[in-house]
Structure 1
Amino acid sequence: MLTDNHGRKISYMRLAVTDRCNLRCFYCMPEHGLDWLSRTELMTNEEMLQICSLLVKMGIEKIRITGGEPFVRKDIVQLLTGISGLNGLKELGLTTNGVLTAPYVPELKKIGVRSVNLSLDTLDANRFFTITRRDEFSNVMASLDAMLSHDMEVKINAVVMDGKNTQDIIPLVELARELPVSVRFIEEMPFNGDGHVYDGSHWDYVRILDEIKGSYPQIKKLDDPAYSTSYNYQIPGHKGSIGIIAAYSRTFCGTCNRIRITPQGELKTCLYDDGVLNLKDLMRKGASDEALQDALLTAFSHRPADGWEAERARVAKTGIHESMATIGG
């Protein structure tokens, strides 16, 4: 079992396969997009499979593929197929914006992708366009329909933004009345790609819950699974459930079991650090699996206690300027 210097189990890896995205959500990146990584800067399928294989042998049990948007990477199904076959991997998941996903759903189910996180901040087509700067709402909803028709476990992730989509909280909760989905509301974070600092003071997890309670006073707290990043709730009579993720407040750091690897192979032992080890560079210099393992174990032994400590360390050097697309959602 992998553990860090604070005794926390490390069993979950989020692997970002690209920084590119076909949406331009304002809380994630500027309207013109980002300075995209060149193909040579991205990890190859072989490099990503090597990292996944090594980390599964070391104790990683769950891998979630993220981006950017994974389906803008043309060889994504090939990569997913390779990862799904790793001996010892217990769960393979995927995070997507749903724009291109619908045609792939039958194959994803066949490969063994158990759960999909679908990013969807509003159920209003006009607000969707305002938030994402793209007219793709119908494609996203088609992907949701396809996932549900294939009995996939779906979590809908909605970032709550002051003055932008708070009126969508209750309609999104209503989505869980008839559909077996988990609707999860996420505090906005400062990873918007332009250096704008979000102070986290407007819609934290307490205010989001109070908003929901105002319409559903009968809402009940559920037992949260081990290592959960969300506070989970059930409304009597609803097929689905509700979750609230304190991503900015960082109330779950004490049980965090996850690491992230960026598209260029940078290991992040905390969402709020600025990268602690470049695995791609080590592999391209010919490092053996043993050398990679030693480097990983050293990084895990210097993990910050929480996101606040990680942010303090990086702000002193660089501040927060990157996009979630370059980190891996």
Structure 2
Amino acid sequence: MLLDNHGRKINYLRLAVTDRCNLRCFYCMPEDGLNWLSRKELMTYEEMLQVCTLLVKMGIEKIRITGGEPFVRKDIMQLLTALLKLDGLKELSITTNGVLTAPHVADLKKIGVRSVNLSLDTLDANRFFTITRRDEFANVMETMEELLKHDIEVKINTVVMAGKNTQDIIPLVGLTKDLPVSVRFIEEMPFNGDGHSHSGIVWDYVRIFDEIRQTFPEIQKVPDPQYSTSYNYQVPGHKGSIGIIAAYSRTFCGTCNRIRITPQGTLKNCLYDDGVLNIKDLMRSGMDNAELETTLREAFNNRQKDGWQAEQKRLENPNFHESMATIGG
């Protein structure tokens, strides 16, 4: 079992396999994209598999593959297949925007992927184009249909943004009436890669819930799973469920069980920190697994107590501007 210096169990890794994405969501990156990492700056699949094997041995039980968009990286299915063979790994899941995912769904089911998070901020094709700057709505909806057809658990991730998609909150909740999906509304976060200031949010988790309750007054609280980052609800009679993630308010830090590795190999103990060490560089310098395990344990034993403390340290570097595409969500 892995424990940090605050006694929190660490058993969940979010591994970003690429910083590249085929959408240009305005809250994630500039319209022209980012300065993409070169191939040599990225961890290779072999390096990812090596560090994942070590982390699973140390106590990681769940891995989520993120990006960027995972399916823009060539041969991603090879990595997924190899990871699912790790002894001790209980769950492998994926976060995707759904643009390129539909053709892979049958194979995902075959190799044992049971859960996929689908990023979808609106059910309106025109607003989708405004938010993502790409005309890919039909492909995303096809992916959702394929996932449901193959009985893969679908969690829809929706970033709630004032003046952009708040009118979609109720229609998205409506999806849960007839579909066994979990719709999760996420507070907007200050990671858009262009250095814009972020002084807070208008639509926090309290306001999102109040908006839902006005239309669905019968909504009921349901138990939150262990380590849940969302407050979970269900409308009686609906097949699906609803979650609200206080990603900016950071109400769940006290039970945080996750670490992140960016595409270039940076270990992040918190979404809001600026990285604590570079695993790729250590591996390429010749560090063996025993030394790497010792180094990782030292890093886990120096985690910030919450996202506010981690962010304060990050803000000490005024030139440090991250995008969610480079963090891995």
| TM, length-normalised to structure 1 | 0.99
Partner in structure 1 of residue 98 of structure 2: 98
- Residues 102, 142 of structure 1: 8 Å contact kept: yes
2:249 is aligned with 1:255: no
Mapped to 2, the partners of 1:52 and 1:156 lie a distance apart of: 26
Q: Which structure 2 segments of 5+ residues have no match? A: none
Cα deviations across residues 10-53 of structure 1 (Å, max 9, x unaligned)? Answer: 00000000000000000000000000000000000100000100
- Residues 265, 280 of structure 2: 8 Å contact kept: yes
Partner in structure 2 of residue 80 of structure 1: 80
2:68 is aligned with 1:64: no
Mapped to 1, the partners of 2:243 and 2:58 lie a distance apart of: 30
Partner in structure 2 of residue 40 of structure 1: 40
Matches within 5 A, 1:208-219: 208-219=208-219
Q: CA deviation at 1:75?
A: 1.4
Cα deviations across residues 268-313 of structure 1 (Å, max 9, x unaligned)? Answer: 0000000001000000011100011011001001000000000001
Cα deviations across residues 90-124 of structure 1 (Å, max 9, x unaligned)? Answer: 00000000000000000001111110000000000
Q: CA deviation at 1:319?
A: 5.9
Q: CA deviation at 1:164?
A: 0.2
Change (3 A) 1:298 1:318: farther
- Residues 21, 325 of structure 1: 8 Å contact kept: yes
Partner in structure 1 of residue 199 of structure 2: 199
Partner in structure 2 of residue 153 of structure 1: 153
Q: Secondary structure at the match of 1:13?
A: strand
- Residues 191, 320 of structure 1: 8 Å contact kept: no
CA RMSD of aligned residues (A): 0.7
Q: CA deviation at 1:323?
A: 0.3
2:187 is aligned with 1:187: yes
Q: CA deviation at 1:320?
A: 5.1
Q: Secondary structure at the match of 1:123?
A: coil
2:162 is aligned with 1:162: yes
Mapped to 1, the partners of 2:96 and 2:149 lie a distance apart of: 17
How many residue pairs get aligned? The number is 329
Q: Which structure 1 segments of 5+ residues have no match? A: none
| TM, length-normalised to structure 2 | 0.99
Partner in structure 2 of residue 178 of structure 1: 178
2:312 is aligned with 1:312: yes
Q: Secondary structure at the match of 2:22?
A: coil
- Residues 178, 239 of structure 1: 8 Å contact kept: yes
Identical residues among aligned pairs (%): 76
- Residues 12, 62 of structure 1: 8 Å contact kept: yes
Partner in structure 2 of residue 283 of structure 1: 283
Q: Which amino acid aligns with 1:87?
A: D
Q: Which amino acid aligns with 1:21?
A: C
- Residues 187, 201 of structure 2: 8 Å contact kept: no
Matches within 5 A, 1:120-159: 120-159=120-159
